[in-house]
Amino acid sequence: MKKNIIFYLTAITMVATMSGCQKKIDEAFANPNASVRVPIETLLPGIIGNFVGSSAAAGSAYGTANDGLYVGRYVQYWATNSAGNQYDQMGGATGASDILGSVWAMHYFGMGENLNKMVKWGIEEEKWDYVGVGYAIRAWSWLTLTNMHGEVIMREAFRPEQLVFKYDTQKDVYDTVRAIARMAISYLERTDGKVSQSNLAKGDAFFYNGDVNKWKKFVYTVMARSFNHLSNKADYKADSVIKYALLGINSNADNASAKFANTGITGTSNFYGPYRNNVGALRQTEYIANLMNGLGTRFTGAVDPRAWYMLRENTSNTIRGIKLNKGASGLVANDQPQGFWGQTFGTASAPVSDAACRYIFKNGSPFPIITASENKFILAEAYLRKGDVNSALTAYKDGISLNFDMLVNDYAAGVPAARLITPAMTTTYLTNPAVVPSASNLSLSHIMLQKYIALYGFGMLETWVDMRRFHYTDLDEKAGGQVYADLVMPSGIDLFINNGGKQTYRARPRYNSEYLYNVAELERLGALALDYHTKEQWFSQK
């Protein structure tokens, strides 16, 4: 018995000694896979960085801007300066490529568990403003994700114990977006606990600087978007669109824009600036150029002074663009537009300095996520569909005017002095009946084309939603011709072979997230088919 007691005491001593050693070892060498609690103020900057394009050891280029390089071709913002690019041809990702998977990675990984922890810890710490911001971002992210991919993993998302996951319908995701948005508002309205503008600004320095009222307007505009997207549905609710748009972003002071410290390193620079070197081979298309140079059929003769802010001139000092998948073909040398950094048509390399760059193509330029101008065009469309043409015209003019003001105030750098917008230029454009018709003659085509211009360069994901709502080439009986007047979609040899003669309506799920292990679920969705990217999404179906 004595020996047993000695044995037990010795064992207890050994365990205690080992526990003490283990504690010291754990303190000295933290397990990188263990859950580590950090101040939520340090989580939010990285989460916000994913709005555009993150840069971190865990993954680079997660966000809207990287996918936007390719979606921008789908909506004819830009095309490659040489022929034969599959995305100019409306192709989807193929093989083991992760192209068009950056929004997926943004949602599930870049924001992902960091956002979940910020919300969870924010609740525990009574930092209701951080919780509200977290839910606001999650609502935006779910909506952006489903509009890219259609059916996505929602109910089973963020379950580390699972290896395979079931997908949810887009309708369910839309319902969830609205539920999360309402939760965001409820938390953003709280003033108790440890709510503090100055403390929120620590994590929110490069977006809204801790202003919860601006975050609420952001959420309301996300709600307005979600109702606006369903314009093809029998139960489309114009009044819901109007309600939330009126509560949303209606002043440029409230624009949701990601900002950059621009300290000379990749992670602090605009994704489209020369330092990041992502848009060197892209050139503006004929479509956007003709909308702004007066050669298009909807705004015939109306020369848009905004062109010199957003687009690039050629050696003839005119605004021209290229056709998708054609490169320089069909353009004389003097009509070939410069690159977005001011380089010659055939030059893809980035300049050392961004002094000649303009608009969102400078290293430190803010990158808009949602603007007051967009929100006004959402309002104009809803009013027009409701039959309130006078309110529609007012919102329409406001949308154009706000975009002019945003360019003048935020993006004048690099614009030739003679091309800087003056109040007289703005007035001339807004009083041109080709641009602003009478209320009775205002059409969906007017609204969607001016919205297209106002979103140019940064809003390609939302423009893609709009174009798919109108199936690219739907007609506008009131205006005559297509809603997107003059838009010519790729066909024949200019349409990617896998499309089977159809246009693109979705991006497939991210390859390295899904096609390596979640194959059975992808097969159920039909996502293994070569033309899956042409399958129309629920939001645009009638």
Give the Cα separation of 519 and 497 in Å (integer). Answer: 24
Task: Using alpha carbons, select from 72, 78, 77, 81 the residue that is nearest to residue 333.
Answer: 81
DSSP string of 42-82?
Answer: GTHHHHHHTTT--EETTEES-SHHHHHHHHHHHTTSEEESS
- Domain membership flag for residue 228: yes
Task: Using alpha carbons, select from 141, 131, 128, 120 the residue that is nearest to residue 50.
Answer: 141
- Domain membership flag for residue 390: no
Could you say which DSSP state residue 297 is in?
Answer: S
Q: Which helix (H) or strand (E) holds 282?
A: strand 282-284
DSSP string of 196-209?
Answer: -HHHHHHH-TTTTT
pLDDT of residue 8: 34
pLDDT of residue 25: 52
Number of structural domains (the chain) is: 1
Measured CA distances, 173 to 73, 149, 180 (Å) = 26, 11, 10
Confirm if 303 and 101 have CB atoms less than 8 A apart: no
Task: Per-residue pLDDT tens, the chain, 542 aa: give them.
Answer: 434 433 333 333 443 444 455 555 555 555 555 568 999 999 999 999 999 998 665 556 899 999 999 999 999 999 999 999 999 999 999 999 999 999 999 999 999 999 999 999 999 999 999 999 999 999 999 999 999 999 999 999 999 999 999 999 999 999 999 999 999 999 999 999 999 999 999 999 999 999 999 999 999 999 999 999 999 999 999 999 999 999 999 999 999 999 999 999 888 999 999 999 999 999 999 999 999 999 999 999 999 999 999 999 999 999 999 999 999 999 999 999 999 999 999 999 999 999 999 999 999 999 999 999 999 999 999 999 999 999 999 999 999 999 999 999 999 999 999 999 999 999 999 999 999 999 999 999 999 999 999 999 999 999 999 999 999 999 999 999 999 999 999 999 999 999 999 999 999 999 999 999 999 999 999 999 999 999 999 999 99
Give the Cα separation of 156 and 178 in Å (integer). Answer: 19
pLDDT of residue 61: 81
Distance, CA of 522 to chain centre:
25
pLDDT of residue 265: 86
- Domain membership flag for residue 405: no
Tell me which residue range forms the domain holding 104. Answer: 40-75+100-265+507-540
- Domain membership flag for residue 168: yes
- The CATH number that applies at residue 187 is 1.25.40.390
- Domain membership flag for residue 315: no
Tokens standing for 152? 């996505």
Q: What is the pTM of this model?
A: 0.93
pLDDT of residue 9: 35
Count of residues making up the chain: 542
pLDDT of residue 4: 40
pLDDT of residue 36: 83
Sheet strands (E) in 341-486: 367-370
102-114 pLDDT, tens digit per residue, is 999 999 999 999 9
- Domain membership flag for residue 395: no
510-535 pLDDT, tens digit per residue, is 999 999 999 999 999 999 999 999 99
**Cβ partners under 8 Å of residue 531, min gap 6:** 498, 499, 500, 502
Give the Cα separation of 138 and 216 in Å (integer). Answer: 13
Q: Which helix (H) or strand (E) holds 256?
A: strand 256-258
Q: Exposed (0-12), middle (13-18) or buried (19+): which is 304, by Cβ within 10 Å?
A: buried
- Domain membership flag for residue 328: no
Give the Cα separation of 71 and 499 in Å (integer). Answer: 16
- Domain membership flag for residue 349: no
Helix-helix angle 238-247:372-386, to 10 degrees: 150
